Amino acid sequence: MSKWLEESIEPGFRASYKLDKILASTTSEFQHVDLVDIEPFGRSLVIDGLLQSCRCDEFVYHECLVHPAMLMHPNPKTVYIGGGGEGSTAREVLRHKSVEKCVMVDIDKDVVQFCKDHLDENAEAFADKRLDLVISCAKAYLEQNDTKFDVIIMDLDDPLEGGPCYQLYSTEFYTFLKSKLNPGGIIVTQSGQSGIKQHTLVFTPIHNTLKSVFPNTVPYNQAIYSFLDEWGWNVALPEGAKPPAKFSPEEVDKLIEERISGELKFMDGCSWQGIWALSKVHRKSLAAETVVMSVNNKNHRFMCNPGIATIAEENAKRQKTA
Amino acid sequence: MSKWLEESIEPGFRASYKLDKILASTTSEFQHVDLVDIEPFGRSLVIDGLLQSCRCDEFVYHECLVHPAMLMHPNPKTVYIGGGGEGSTAREVLRHKSVEKCVMVDIDKDVVQFCKDHLDENAEAFADKRLDLVISCAKAYLEQNDTKFDVIIMDLDDPLEGGPCYQLYSTEFYTFLKSKLNPGGIIVTQSGQSGIKQHTLVFTPIHNTLKSVFPNTVPYNQAIYSFLDEWGWNVALPEGAKPPAKFSPEEVDKLIEERISGELKFMDGCSWQGIWALSKVHRKSLAAETVVMSVNNKNHRFMCNPGIATIAEENAKRQKTA
Amino acid sequence: MSKWLEESIEPGFRASYKLDKILASTTSEFQHVDLVDIEPFGRSLVIDGLLQSCRCDEFVYHECLVHPAMLMHPNPKTVYIGGGGEGSTAREVLRHKSVEKCVMVDIDKDVVQFCKDHLDENAEAFADKRLDLVISCAKAYLEQNDTKFDVIIMDLDDPLEGGPCYQLYSTEFYTFLKSKLNPGGIIVTQSGQSGIKQHTLVFTPIHNTLKSVFPNTVPYNQAIYSFLDEWGWNVALPEGAKPPAKFSPEEVDKLIEERISGELKFMDGCSWQGIWALSKVHRKSLAAETVVMSVNNKNHRFMCNPGIATIAEENAKRQKTA
Amino acid sequence: MSKWLEESIEPGFRASYKLDKILASTTSEFQHVDLVDIEPFGRSLVIDGLLQSCRCDEFVYHECLVHPAMLMHPNPKTVYIGGGGEGSTAREVLRHKSVEKCVMVDIDKDVVQFCKDHLDENAEAFADKRLDLVISCAKAYLEQNDTKFDVIIMDLDDPLEGGPCYQLYSTEFYTFLKSKLNPGGIIVTQSGQSGIKQHTLVFTPIHNTLKSVFPNTVPYNQAIYSFLDEWGWNVALPEGAKPPAKFSPEEVDKLIEERISGELKFMDGCSWQGIWALSKVHRKSLAAETVVMSVNNKNHRFMCNPGIATIAEENAKRQKTA
């Protein structure tokens, strides 16, 4: 008798991981969370049926999400994180010595508390005085506060059909975000699976949508073993900014040495060269992409978000009837 | 009732692919081969329990194996392929207009025949007059023939414990191969899984072993979706050759345009930049690797090859008792 | 890499059988059929996603279906089999020396041909001159012919939602069947899973429905390993007939010896005692069952049959769009 | 992402149960125990990789194990249970009004405590003053105490290769047990899988071994859904005792009514008829069985027990190195 975690990667493709132990579990208003030990990837966080991050390689994802945007900004003092409840994104942001304030806004207080309680690797970040941790909707917070930011990092679930995050990937939201950036500010967003088969699901649409508001949007990607695919991000740079691929390995290594505390595990000048070098297949798909995600267009391959409030209501209903 | 192909990726990690159809199967003296349709990856060749290549992305593997070595050689006329029975490696080699002769030596005549019969995408290559297809041991052929080559491509199974290919990854074999290269010749070998967790299994040992004979050996890698990981190769360049990462995108694109017939799907000047940019993690492991695989050292983490003859004998025995 | 057949036994319960070989496959107008070798059960027939019969224990099912009804009839000369395309039911019927004519009516000519071609164990039965094999709807044949029978054996798929066989388990059909029985005639029908958890799905409703027309209906069951559960049947006896459980082992053994050619593998006087001894749990459920399946009542837990013609049409449509 | 419990039923046959929740787990000196909720069978106890008992049908196993021996004894006052740590066997024993003392000896104090803590259905039994719960080796206790018993119930793991229970199924142990029976005493032992394919693994050898000491040993079996097979037991009756199959349903029902408190769920006069009616296949195998398990014969298909002490030592070692 053995225990297994089974993940449906795509139709007709299942991955099964031997489940050594369920260390802790909780069900919040929005999601179900498990902290588990699985044989191939070690300690792992599973949120609502998604292998969210595994100790064996979560640093690849988080270093790729955070450091390019941070290093390309000349002096990032204020940073906004939308989502990121796990704490690892904040951890990487707070390594930057220039950072004076990092506002992290996650909607799920139970998940945040769960991660605070159980993820030792992020304990220091959660305790950092520069971190302003807010439980709220990532959009509502920005609407209700006047603060502007040097770097905005969107670390949310994919904009999938009916999912709660769809509107936070829309052209309308990106237009709004523009007003929340300090001059010279940079936005980066996680952008889903980006391997040779799946990169048109959300990676190219997110790219095209962000680009509709920020013409100097640059896509990048990196293989992540525990995600069983490459993963993608898109960074919106100020117009006229130096293209990321033009940073030499030496320049990047120098920036890291000057501006980041401690040692990065994944990112350095050479790793940097790799993430911007998208393949011919990817570049063709990016060039061909026409979808601009909007809260108004309900006819394309994503369903529009019924609103976060609605999701919470539905969850509440489900819990009552369960 | 559904049919599934199940692959054990590593201990405690299984991948299962919905099996739509088994189109053809054969058992040779050495291996069992199936041509199958699986839901996530389409038409796929399964050789002895390994998902050998899937129509959805086999071109990524084969373009990465073949074109860097071929393009970095100034004028490759004669090419040797060790293994490669499937025919896709030869297909990519024969796209190079400079090639006058391509000798492909595979030990398994039944598998080669099976691929000739069933893989339409390689029919043209198998029919190409420049191809000299030989059924033999990859090493024995070279020993018995005086020919030297401009480019040698080793496309063999991983050097795993007790596997038939171990000695073809040894420092002794690489020393022998050196005598089979024309001046300025280049050797490339597939080098197994190369993702953040598995790259020290065979990728770094192969690198270190090839480098023990060819000091200018350069490792590279690329994510391959259907292999569920990044994949690695090592190319041994002449001393003093220009480092691959120094070829600009424009240079590579120009070489491809001038020297290759038809259009590549994966490789171009920009894809090229990505494959050489190994991450900090990989470079640390490569630097720390001390294993040099030898037919004499039986105490490291690979078992020495009992010889291809032995394998065939064992298979014969197994078939008798089955 | 291994191949597996996976069966969904009930929600949250999957059985997986190692698939050694697919020996033959065909897709008929109605169904998809595979003849496979699976490691635990050997040679097996899979019809439309159901493990139909396995060489290791198909005789248990077929001996239980056929012999009780046949042995309790004083002198069965004419037998009707509804369904049974595999041929094993006919094989068991034709062992009875008294049988002069066995009409077997199966709707699927391709499946029948497939079984004729591939199931050696039934070759003799298919060649028996007493067998009248008809390709037709089991009901239509009876409507179009005047023949009456001594024993009627219904060997059909379960009456599941939307399935083609629903109406052949209805009170209307059983009333019609009554008119097709010679005096003293007996009807038996397979009646689905009958274990402690699943016996109320179809076993007790079929019992209650058959009993609505034939008051002397007796349920019985037997564990069948390859079905992963007990299996059930219901036999409708003439009023006043001796209860099956009152046959002593010796009586049954004598009947078998006198009336059956060759040796049975499963059934004998002692096995007979076991099949009628339903547990307290089963008898409670049978007593509590109120459903009478009717072609008119669409509100109970089975969906009415849209008609065999409709099914065939739908299959045809599916094939066109595939 | 879903969680599954996977059980290897036999080579090439896996059953997977959707794992809703792990309610509690513990690792004792001897075994690992989980209390889980699985979708098909509900609350279930998993001991060392064996689905030990499921709330949906554990009563079938335990009523079959306990009541036949108890009801065939004219007046069972003292009962010995070897193993049975879960408490369900004691629960069924203590329903018998005649019982004055039930000694239950299980080696694993942690598992017993775990069951006391978590299995509500056995709370009353654990609290019953007639129960004498002893933590010890089932054999050692009997050696160290002079008490004799009316009924001895062996509820142990199968006598599998290297398992801790092998010697408790040996002819030597049964000879010893004989000396622990009061005149007219009865012994019953669980006897493993007993379906058409697996019944010769341990069921027929246990029968033959018990019979080597007690000539009037009667085998019986019953399908148990959550065990995915029939299950077997063997009861050793005094010489000349009335054969179980000769008890009429009415007699059994009367005995149950007179002697048992509360209502049984599975066993009654009619269920009783079924369990003794072994099929022709089973009876042939029983007649052909020649194995007599002995602590001395190490050459048959079971490996001799290295001794419970050894097992515990090995577990301790494993824990240290883990």
CB contact under 8 A, A196 and B57: yes
Closest to D233 measured CA to CA, from D189, D200, D270: D189
How many Å lie between the alpha carbon of B236 and the closest alpha carbon of chain A? Answer: 20
Q: What's the residue count for chain A?
A: 322
Q: Active-site residues of B: which are they? A: 155
Residue D31: the pLDDT is 85
The token pair at C92 is: 């068991």
For range B128-147, the mean pLDDT: 96
**Secondary structure letter of residue D260 according to DSSP:** B
Lowest mean pLDDT across C190-194, C300-304, D47-51, D155-159: C300-304
Q: What is the CA radius of gyration of chain C?
A: 19
Give contacts of D 165-204 with C, CB under 8 A.
Answer: 195-198
Per-residue pLDDT of chain A (322 residues; tens, 9 = 90+): 789 999 989 999 999 999 998 899 898 888 889 999 999 999 999 987 788 999 999 999 999 999 999 999 999 999 999 999 999 999 999 999 999 999 999 999 999 999 999 999 999 999 999 999 999 999 999 999 999 999 999 999 888 756 668 889 999 999 999 999 999 999 999 999 999 999 999 999 999 999 999 999 999 999 999 999 999 999 999 999 999 999 999 999 999 999 999 999 999 999 999 999 999 999 999 999 999 998 876 544 443 333 333 333 444 444 444 4
Choosing among B1, B21, B35, B38, which should be mutated to test the C contact, i.e. which has the most C CBs within 10 A? B1
State the pLDDT at residue A312. Answer: 38
Is the pLDDT reported for residue B239 higher than 60? yes
Answer whether C19's CB lies under 8 Å from C4's CB: yes
Residue B32, pLDDT score? 87
CA dist C309 and C307 (Å) reads 5
Give residue B322's pLDDT band: very low, low, confident or very high (50, 70, 90): very low
Q: Chain C: residue nearest D38 by CA?
A: C12
At residue C309, the pLDDT reads: 33
Over range D172-198, report the average pLDDT.
97
b/e for C270-297, b at 16 or more Cβ within 10 A?
A: bbbbbbbbbbbbbeebbeebebbbbeee
State how far residue D8 is from chain A, nearest Cα, in angstroms: 7
Inspect the interface and report whether the beta carbons of A5 and D5 lie closer than 8 Å. Answer: no
Q: List the single residue in B with minimal CA-CA distance to C51.
A: B1
Residue type, A304: C
Contacting residues of C for D256, CB less than 8 Å apart? none
DSSP state of A79: E
Residue C165 has pLDDT above 90, yes or no: no
Contacts of B85 (CB under 8 A, 6+ apart): B104, B106, B108, B111, B112, B115
Query: What percent of chain D shows pLDDT beyond 70?
Result: 91
3-state per-residue secondary structure call for chain C: CEEEEEEEEECCEEEEEEEEEEEEEEECCCCEEEEEEECCCEEEEEECCEEEEECCCHHHHHHHHHHHHHHHCCCCCEEEEEECCCCHHHHHHHCECCCCEEEEEECCHHHHHHHHHHCHHHHHHHHCCCEEEEECCHHHHHHHCCCCEEEEEEECCCCCCCCCCHHHHCHHHHHHHHCCEEEEEEEEEEEEECCCCCCCCCHHHHHHHHHHHCCCEEEEEEEEHHHCEEEEEEEECCCCCCCHHHCCHHHHHHHHHHHECCCCCCCCHHHHHHHHCCCHHHHHHHHHCCCCCCCCCCCCCCCCCCCHHHHHHHHHHHHHHC
Verify whether the Cβ–Cβ distance C17 to D12 is below 8 Å. yes
Residue A139 C-alpha, separation from nearest chain D C-alpha, in angstroms = 28
**pLDDT computed for residue B159 by the predictor:** 86
Global ipTM: 0.91
- Give the number of other CB atoms < 10 A from CB of residue A67: 26
* pLDDT over 60 at B57, yes or no: yes
Return phi, psi of residue A5, to 5°.
Answer: -100, 130
- Do chains B and C have 3 or more beta-carbon pairs under 8 angstroms? yes
In tens, the pLDDT along B217-238 reads: 999 999 999 999 999 999 999 9
What pLDDT, on a 0 to 100 scale, did the predictor assign at position C133? 97
Residues from chain A contacting residue B14 (CB–CB below 8 Å): 15-16
Q: Does A6 touch chain D (CB under 8 A)?
A: yes
Q: What pLDDT, in 10s, does the model give residues C205-249? A: 999 999 999 999 999 999 999 999 999 999 999 999 999 999 999
Q: What is the pLDDT at residue C299?
A: 42
Least confident of A210-219, A222-231, C28-37, C80-89: C28-37
Q: Which residues of D touch A7 (CB under 8 A)?
A: 1
Q: Name the class of domain A58-242+279-288.
A: alpha beta
User: What's the whole-number mean pLDDT along residues C64-77?
Assistant: 98
Min Cα distance B6 → chain A (Å) is 9
Arithmetic mean of pLDDT over chain D:
90
Handedness of CA A69, A70, A74, A79 (dihedral sign): positive
DSSP D12: T
Please give the CATH number for the structural domain made up of B4-54: 2.30.140.10
- Asked whether residue C285 carries a pLDDT value surpassing 90, the answer given is yes
Superfamily of domain C58-288: Vaccinia Virus protein VP39 (3.40.50.150)
Specify the pLDDT at position C30: 84
Mean of pLDDT over chain C: 90
Helices (H), D34-180: 58-72, 88-94, 109-118, 123-127, 138-144, 171-178
Chain C partners of D280 at a C-beta cutoff of 8 Å? 264-268, 270-271
B244-273 core/surface letters (b: 16 or more CB in 10 A; e: else):
bbebeeeebbebbeebbeeeebbbbbbbbb
User: What pLDDT digit, counting tens, does each position of B180-204 carry?
Assistant: 999 999 999 999 999 999 999 999 9
For residue B154, CA distances in Å to B66, B79, B151, B235, C171 come to 10, 11, 10, 10, 72
CB of B50 less than 8 A from some CB of C: yes
pLDDT confidence of C164, banded at 50, 70, 90? low
Report whether pLDDT(C315) > 70. no
Is A39 part of the contact surface with chain B (CB cutoff 8 Å)?
A: yes
Task: Identify the pLDDT of residue B47.
Answer: 86
SS3 sequence of chain B: CEEEEEEEEECCEEEEEEEEEEEEEEECCCCEEEEEEECCCEEEEEECCEEEEECCCHHHHHHHHHHHHHHHCCCCCEEEEEECCCCHHHHHHHCECCCCEEEEEECCHHHHHHHHHHCHHHHHHHHCCCEEEEECCHHHHHHHCCCCEEEEEEECCCCCCCCCCHHHHCHHHHHHHHCCEEEEEEEEEEEEECCCCCCCCCHHHHHHHHHHHCCCEEEEEEEEHHHCEEEEEEEECCCCCCCHHHCCHHHHHHHHHHHECCCCCCCCHHHHHHHHCCCHHHHHHHHHCCCCCCCCCCCCCCCCCCCHHHHHHHHHHHHHHC
Give mean pLDDT, residues C289-311. 57
Give the model's confidence band at C265: pLDDT under 50 very low, under 70 low, under 90 confident, else very high: very high
First to last CA, chain D: 28
pLDDT band at residue D297 using 50, 70 and 90 as cut-offs? low
Inter-chain residue contact C40 with D268, CB threshold 8 Å: no
Residue A227 DSSP code: G
Task: Reply yes or no on whether the pLDDT at D271 is more than 90.
Answer: yes
Reported as a single tens digit per residue, the pLDDT across D52-88 is: 999 999 999 999 999 999 999 999 999 999 999 999 9
* pLDDT score recorded for residue B297: 65
Distance CA A262, CA A189 (A): 24
Q: Does B14 touch chain C (CB under 8 A)?
A: no
Q: Name, in order, each residue with C-beta under 8 angstroms of B209's C-beta and a sequence gap of 6 or more.
A: B169, B170, B171, B174, B291, B292, B293, B294
**Is some CB atom of chain A closer than 8 A to the CB atom of D1?**
yes
**In the block, which residue shows the tokens 């419990």?**
D5
What are the residues facing D2 on neighbouring strands? Answer: A6
Report DSSP state, residue A50: E
The predicted pLDDT at position B313 comes to 42
CA A75 to chain D, closest CA, distance in angstroms equals 41
* Alpha carbon distance A248, B246 (integer Å): 12
Chain segment D115-143, per-residue pLDDT in tens:
999 999 999 999 999 999 999 999 999 99
- The ranges assigned to domains in chain B are 4-54, 58-288
At A306 the pLDDT is 34
Q: Which of A47-61, B104-118, B303-317, D157-171 has the highest mean pLDDT?
A: B104-118
* B225–A197 CB contact, under 8 Å: yes
> What is the C-alpha R_g of chain D?
19
Q: Does the pLDDT of residue D320 top 60, yes or no?
A: no
Q: Mean pLDDT score of chain B, rounded to an integer?
A: 90
Q: What is the pLDDT of residues C169-180, one digit of tens each?
A: 999 999 999 999
Question: Does pLDDT of B75 surpass 80?
Answer: yes
pLDDT band at D322 (very low <50, low <70, confident <90, very high): very low
pLDDT (average), residues C188-192:
97
d(CA A159, CA A155): 11
In chain B, what percentage of residues exceed pLDDT 90? Answer: 81
In single-letter form, the type of residue at position B29 comes to: E
Question: How far apart are alpha carbons A88 and A84 in whole angstroms?
Answer: 7
Task: Answer whether B270 sits within 8 Å of A280, measured CB to CB.
Answer: yes
